[in-house]
Amino acid sequence: MNVDTIDPSEIDKFSAMAAEWWDPNGKFKPLHMMNPVRLDYICAQIAGEYGRDRAAARPFEGLRILDIGCGGGLLSEPMARLGAEVVGADAAERNIPVAEIHAREQGLDIDYRHTSAEALAQAGELFDVVLNMEVVEHVSDPAAYLGACHDLLKPGGLMICSTINRTTRSFGAAILGAEWIMRWLPKGTHDWAKFITPDELCALLRRAGLDPVDRSGFVFNPLSWQWKISDNDLAVNYVTTSLRPQGPS
């Protein structure tokens, strides 16, 4: 199986920032700000697909979830608290000890691994849910990468994939705003040419054998300084949900 979708230059960027994952005012401030909205969307999609009661103490008990590109564990930890068996995987080796130490401090049992989607698929790992958040724009071959993500899902499994649209607004917000003006992220963190439009992503998902069932936007309001989910504004940050069909795919 092709294991070459990891882009070493992208890994170097995030390795250099590894120690700052849990600083809400550090280089990952945008993710900390967006995380409540991401979690709300993720939980709604998983609960809807698997018929879980979000009001329960551990609604995702019995589900095996992969957080690919887990970073410091900003999504892995809440998924574990909600009862899921969580594997957090990242190609940036320095992220793993940061995530492990923080999870241990929180009393959480999370299986963190320095590995790739392709390697996990080759090993025959299978999951009910794959969280694939802000990763696809950083790999060298999105089609091959999403193919590996398909192989990691059990038949009927759910993948949630978020990324950044390739628009004038996204250039202004993700690069000029976040990197150059606000300096939330180091300059060069994002490459606008690697951004993927929703139509392009859905085509890639279908090519990988997945069935896209939802697409929504994550929209930042600079006046209220808050994020919200939008049904129709996908101009900058957006998210998709897709399913692996029950039959052969």
Write out pLDDT tens, residues 108-138: 999 999 999 999 999 999 999 999 999 999 8
In whole angstroms, what is the distance from residue 177 CA to residue 33 CA?
A: 15
Residues 67-76 have a mean pLDDT of 96
Reference 158, options 49, 238, 43; nearest CA is 49
Could you report the per-residue pLDDT of 56-68, keeping only the tens digit for each? 999 999 999 999 9
Quote the pLDDT of residue 11. Answer: 63
**Global pTM?**
0.87
For residue 20, what pLDDT is reported? 82
181 pLDDT above the threshold of 60: no
Q: Return the minimum-mean-pLDDT range out of 90-99, 141-150, 165-174, 206-215.
A: 165-174
Between CA 78 and CA 65 the distance in angstroms is 11
Q: Which of 247 and 91 is assigned the larger pLDDT? A: 91
Phi, psi for residue 233 in degrees, rounded to 5:
-100, 95
Report residue 23 as tokens.
Answer: 């600083």
* Closest-CA residue to 9 (of 99, 92, 116): 92
Sign of the C-alpha dihedral computed for residues 15, 26, 142 and 167 taken in this order = negative
Average pLDDT, the chain: 88
Whether residue 182 has pLDDT greater than 60: no
Predicted confidence at residue 30, as pLDDT, reads: 76
Predicted local distance difference test score (pLDDT) of residue 195: 87
pLDDT tens digits, 14-44: 555 556 888 888 777 778 889 999 999 999 9
Nearest residue to 236 (alpha-carbon basis) of 204, 190, 202, 181: 190
**Euclidean distance between CA atoms 216 and 180, whole angstroms:** 27
pLDDT at residue 236 is higher than 60: yes
